[in-house]
């Protein structure tokens, strides 16, 4: 070997070393700039051996899908060439944990398929919080149910009413589920169709996150609704004796208001109950009767079953002279009246006389047709409407309630703004 060649070889090695050092230093510098911390040793990770470190792509392929609208699990799996008998076995073997015949559109599915195309495992998101795993073991699918690890955050949400409660909350980045929760809490006291611009709502609500992504709401802990002349409060309080959660105002009164059982000052006779198929005495055919008829002499006083605002008075086809009253989330109507004694827009209290029994409209004799509708206009069976309890906080729990209330009241007003708070919580882990 000539000395020249050897010197050249040494020089080459030195050059390579310098380049390597520069590259390594550059890498380290760049990585430090990106804030990823110290450089890890540049040794390739061994992929030999057994255990979880082996990439599963060697033996299985992973496929992800969301259930399309109108699809079943079978149609989705067949799209991945899973055989009919195997799909059937999967559904049967996992049925005791969850029924995969009833998958919901949009829910996610993760499959592991063997090289031979066989189904090794399925993971199905039952909902935002739970998922099912079916894993093939010796010609059987072993089913297990798991919970995602969700982080619970408490946030303050403020919305000013411009057109509606929905608009106020959606414009703050919230969704309909929260609107619905607020309607349920305050719906007994507040007619949400009669809001004024500049009314405002403030909420203290739990939100559940998975890996930093919002998943769903937890409890609304407190709500405050401000109007020109009044502020309504709702505080979530758990009865220490029963463990039952409910909403109460600042004085400890339940926010649920009961309807009177009947729209009379006495117990009347029911002449026709609530039915989806009743033989109509005048029309002589079967049709739904989505109210209750009470027989009573003409001129008998009819009273409002709850406080509310009169939303309709006048003649309405077969109903004859009718009054409709809105009570927040419900409305009630009183038909075939002989006389109407309230005006549209009038505020009435529970028990106020609103009119007199008659036989106007499609009617065979004096009676009252009484109906209850929910927000969506659906008719409810008055006999089955669970009259919510309106018991206040029990005296022995009032001190506990006052403690909870003061704490929530303070958090309602002094919590930092939504985004700021969440950022801070996320950083603190």
Residues near Zn ion (CB under 5 A) are 291, 293, 369
User: Least distance (Å) from Zn ion to the CB of residue 294?
Assistant: 9
Select the residue whose beta carbon is closest to Zn ion and give its number. 369
Quick one: 107 or 271, whose CB is closer to Zn ion? 271
Quick one: 246 or 293, whose CB is closer to Zn ion? 293
User: Least distance (Å) from Zn ion to the CB of residue 319?
Assistant: 9
Q: Are the C-beta atoms of residues 238 and 244 closer than 8 Å to each other?
A: yes
User: Least distance (Å) from Zn ion to the CB of residue 289?
Assistant: 6
What does the alpha-carbon distance between residue 246 and residue 255 come to, in Å, rounded to a whole number? Answer: 8
Quick one: 317 or 395, whose CB is closer to Zn ion? 317
Nearest to 168 by CA among 213, 215, 202, 204: 202
What does the alpha-carbon distance between residue 22 and residue 368 come to, in Å, rounded to a whole number? Answer: 93
Quick one: 224 or 371, whose CB is closer to Zn ion? 371
User: Least distance (Å) from Zn ion to the CB of residue 89?
Assistant: 54
Backbone angles phi, psi at 260, to 5 degrees: -60, 150
Quick one: 270 or 394, whose CB is closer to Zn ion? 270
User: Least distance (Å) from Zn ion to the CB of residue 369?
Assistant: 3
Q: Are the C-beta atoms of residues 123 and 174 closer than 8 Å to each other?
A: no
1 burial level (CB within 10 Å; 0-12, 13-18, 19+): exposed
User: Least distance (Å) from Zn ion to the CB of residue 332?
Assistant: 14
Quick one: 288 or 403, whose CB is closer to Zn ion? 288
Nearest to 78 by CA among 266, 88, 194, 69: 88
User: Least distance (Å) from Zn ion to the CB of residue 286?
Assistant: 14
Strand-pair partners of 208: 152, 216
Quick one: 123 or 278, whose CB is closer to Zn ion? 278
Quick one: 291 or 358, whose CB is closer to Zn ion? 291
Q: C-alpha 401: how far from its chain's center? A: 26
User: Least distance (Å) from Zn ion to the CB of residue 320?
Assistant: 11
């Amino acid at each position: 070997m000539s000395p020249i060649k050897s010197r050249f070889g040494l020089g080459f090695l030195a050059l390579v070393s310098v380049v390597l050092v520069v590259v390594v230093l550059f890498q380290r510098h760049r990585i430090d700039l990106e804030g990823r911390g110290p450089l890890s040793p540049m040794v390739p990770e061994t992929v030999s051996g057994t255990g979880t470190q082996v990439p599963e792509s060697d033996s299985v392929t992973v496929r992800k899908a969301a259930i399309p609208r109108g699809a079943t699990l079978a149609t989705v799996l067949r799209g991945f060439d899973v055989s009919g008998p195997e799909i059937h076995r999967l559904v049967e073997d996992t049925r005791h944990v969850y029924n995969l015949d009833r998958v919901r559109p949009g829910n996610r599915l993760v499959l592991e398929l063997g090289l031979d195309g066989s189904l090794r495992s399925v993971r199905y998101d039952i909902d935002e919080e739970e998922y099912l795993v079916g894993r093939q073991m010796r010609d059987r699918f072993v089913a297990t149910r798991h919970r995602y690890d969700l982080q619970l955050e408490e946030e303050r949400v403020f919305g000013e009413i411009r057109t509606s409660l929905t608009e106020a909350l959606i414009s703050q980045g919230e969704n309909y589920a929260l609107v619905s929760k607020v309607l349920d809490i305050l719906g007994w006291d507040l007619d949400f169709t009669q809001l004024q611009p500049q009314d405002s709502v403030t909420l203290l609500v739990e939100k559940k996150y998975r890996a930093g992504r919002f998943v769903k709401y937890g409890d609304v802990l407190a709500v405050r609704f401000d109007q020109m002349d009044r502020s309504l409060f709702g505080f979530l309080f758990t009865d220490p004796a029963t463990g039952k959660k409910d909403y109460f105002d600042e004085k400890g009164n339940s926010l649920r208001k009961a309807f009177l059982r009947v729209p009379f000052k006495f117990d009347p006779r029911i002449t026709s109950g609530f039915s989806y198929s009743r033989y109509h005495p005048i029309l002589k055919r079967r049709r739904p009767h989505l109210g209750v008829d009470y027989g009573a002499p003409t001129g008998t006083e009819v009273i409002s079953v709850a406080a509310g605002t009169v939303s309709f008075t006048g003649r309405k086809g077969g109903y004859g002279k009718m009054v409709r009253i809105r009570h927040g989330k419900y409305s009630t109507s009183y038909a075939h009246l002989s006389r109407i004694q309230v005006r549209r827009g009038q505020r009435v209290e529970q028990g106020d006389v609103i009119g007199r029994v008659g036989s106007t409209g499609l009617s065979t004799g004096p009676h009252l047709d009484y109906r209850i509708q929910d927000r969506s206009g659906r008719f409810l069976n008055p006999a089955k409407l669970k009259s919510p309890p309106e018991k206040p906080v029990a005296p022995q729990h009032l001190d506990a309630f006052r403690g909870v209330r003061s704490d929530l009241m303070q958090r309602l007003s002094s919590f930092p703004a939504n985004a700021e708070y969440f950022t801070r919580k996320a950083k603190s882990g």
